[in-house]
Amino acid sequence: MINSVLGPISAEKLGKTLVHEHFIVGQPGWQTDETMFPYDRKAALKTNLEVCKAAREVGIETIVDCTPNDYTRDPELYKELAGKSGINIICVTGLFNGTTGATTYWVAKTMFVKDMPKMMAELFVREIDVGIGKTGVKAGAVKVASSETVTPYEESTFKAAVIAQKETGVPIITHTEGPNPGIAQADLFIKEGADKKKVLIGHVSNSTDMDYYKAILDKGFYVGFDRMGMILYTQDEICIKNIAELCKQGYSDKIMLSHDTCNFWCGRSLRDIAPPEIVAMLSNWRIDYVSRTVLPALKEQGVTDKQINTMMVENPRNLFTGK
């Protein structure tokens, strides 16, 4: 059984799944701007109900919200969204990278606590087994992140994620910054004894290097082309071509697709303050883009319906079950 925000569900209920999205995002420190831009929960709910409606219209049954603890989760909002939309929502426990995460709090504790991974893991396990705060919502996965190289702080979060996985059996989903830190992440997971069948190395689409993808895949991990529509990093046409080539080479059983959408921002929205040319580059960054655009384009490149079902249904299910 898998922890959804409305309670445990069977793996068979996941269906067509987006494995890496964000209903709300509040970067660490957004509260310092709260006088100007207070959190509007009603607006967040309204926006995300439209997001869930758009997802349902293209057959999405499950969305994994990959927002870690330091990027402003709202489990009560997730519950309301799931109840009103009929979408299965799975949220996570975890911590972001050392560059833009909440490192100050945790690093300060190293003055007195030498086993940082153990301390972090205690938090992760509690949120998986007991629940997040007093909400009763249990996390269904662990999310961790690295910078372009894995820092000592980030290594602690990855070790904590493995400890939590070993104790609870949940999958681990990662964020990668820059073009190629996924190999180092994979090697660290191997060193710590993670269950590779339950690890998804995210954002490999930051890179266009086929050798990079295959280096991770050949170690036995899943990879996420999970920033589709977000062409600040890689043009979608290149990603589509690369995904199709990987499918031809027999890797469809290790690939997952998603968008990394940030659908409601706490504080000042990126779309409100970014230059027009940047906003234009995000015009396809929406919850139905993979289903409406990427999947048809993959079929044109020779990807079969069976391979698409593998990437969108079977692989997410197997990530949670370890099969």
Choose the weakest-confidence range: 132-136, 268-272, 303-307.
268-272
Domain 2-318: state its class.
Answer: alpha beta
236-248 helix and 210-217 helix, angle to the nearest 10 degrees: 50
Quote the pLDDT of residue 26. 96
Q: Which of 278, 293, 304, 249 is nearest to 58 (CA)?
A: 293
Q: In angstroms, rounded to a whole number, what is the distance separating the alpha carbons of residues 321 and 222? A: 13
pLDDT-above-90 percentage for the chain? 90
| The pLDDT of residue 280 is above 90 | no
**DSSP string of 208-273, one letter each residue:** --HHHHHHHHTTT-EEEE--TT-TTTS-HHHHHHHHHHHHHTT-GGGEEE----B-SBSSS-HHHH
Choose the weakest-confidence range: 69-73, 114-118, 173-177.
114-118
Quote the pLDDT of residue 114. 82
Q: Which of 173, 91, 175, 100 is nearest to 133 (CA)?
A: 91
What backbone torsions phi and psi does residue 16 show, to the nearest 5 degrees?
-70, 120
Quote the pLDDT of residue 263. 96
| The pLDDT of residue 111 is above 80 | no
Span 205-216, pLDDT tens digits = 999 999 999 999
| The pLDDT of residue 141 is above 80 | yes
Q: Where are the domains of the chain?
A: 2-318
User: What value does the mean pLDDT take over residues 249-263?
Assistant: 98
Half-sphere exposure in the Cβ direction for 254 (13 Å, CA) = 21
| The pLDDT of residue 274 is above 90 | no
Amino acid identity of residue 236, one-letter, is: D
Quote the pLDDT of residue 204. 97
Span 150-175, pLDDT tens digits = 999 999 999 999 999 999 999 999 99
